[in-house]
Each structure stands twice: as structure tokens, then as C-alpha cells.
Amino acid sequence: MSVAVVKIGVGNTASVMFALERLGAAAVLTDDPARVAEAERVILPGVGAAAHAMKRLNESGVEDVLRNFSRPLLGICLGQQLLFETSDEGDAEGLGRIPGRVTRFPVSPEAPVPHMGWSKIETTRESALLEGLVETPYAYFVHSFICPASDATIATARYGAPFPAMVASGNVFGCQFHPERSGAAGATILRNFLSLPC
């Protein structure tokens, strides 16, 4: 099985690569459109600004590959946000794989932004990505923007108010949190992704 982890120059991809190595996956970190296109599955990680990340994807030529990739694709943190059509962060255009606009996390005295730390994950509908998880597992979040609630939402978390923590639409999946830093629950999610049929 070949896994391409998209290199966009933002965020710590080393932890994603180590997590995949622990699961026995043959993963390559690359911004080569041909290598991404030929992979059996793709992971799009990211920490940082949406507009900058999309600029990097466009410059490398990987943007078009991700827009049309038909095998399993997983976005992590900023990577999940880039799966949507647009974002308030830099008024960026996303990959358009899932309808909707990413918005800034509402600020409140009880929930200062960024949301940083561990939060419970609540399943909202069944998905192969969630199989084998203990009930209401915890996951590690670091983010200031949230994806819209929609039919694509498969799990939520709460920080001040509920927000989409995981999404799925066809072969496109996303985690707003960092599964590679979320202990056993994160490892289960990554293992499930690696087990999805191509």
C-alpha cells in the first residue's frame, strides 16, 4: 500500500510520518503531483493559514491532483479545512471537495481562541473511519477556524459550542484534530483510514 503525505511547507509533518511508520504504512512525504496522483491514498496535513497553504498547493501542481483524487483522501487540521469550498481565513478558495465555508471560531470568555487541548469526540453518524473507537474518545486540537456543520459531519466536539470534529463525503475524510497526536484513538482512526478500500 502506498501513502502520499502532501508536503505544503506548513506544520509538523514529522509526527504524521512517525505515526504512519508505527502502523506499518509505506508513506512518502512529497509535493510531486505525479507521486501524489499515483498513491493508493493521500493524507493532507497542515498547520497555518489557508491562503498560504492553497498558494503552495497551486504552485506545486498538487492542487489539481487533490481536486480530482478519487481514492481515499484524509485532511488533518488545516487539511480538513482545505477540503471545503472557501475559508474566511485570508478569504481563501479551498479544494471544493465538500460544500461550505470555513469560519473563524466564535470567541467567548469561556472559550478563548485558539482552541488548544484535548476534547471529547461524539459520533454523529456511522463511518468506517470511526470503527473500533471507544465511546467518546478524546482527541488533541489546535485551531482557530471551524468547518460548517453539514451532512458530511460524522463526529463533533465541544468548545464553548459543538463544532464538526470529523467529516466524510465519499472517499474524502477529515479530522479537525491531530490523530497523530491523539494516542490510541488517533491511531485507530489512522489505521481505519489505511484499511479503506481503494
Would you please indicate which residues are annotated as catalytic (active-site) residues?
Answer: 77, 178, 180
Q: How far apart are CA 5 and CA 59, in angstroms?
A: 17
Residues ≥6 apart with Cβ < 8 Å to 149: 156, 162, 163, 164
CB atoms within 10 A of CB 132: 10
- SS3 of residue 37 by DSSP: helix
Closest to 57 (Cα-Cα) out of 47, 67, 71: 67
Residues ≥6 apart with Cβ < 8 Å to 58: none
For the chain, where are the alpha helices, taking DSSP H only?
A: 14-22, 33-38, 50-60, 62-68, 78-82, 183-195
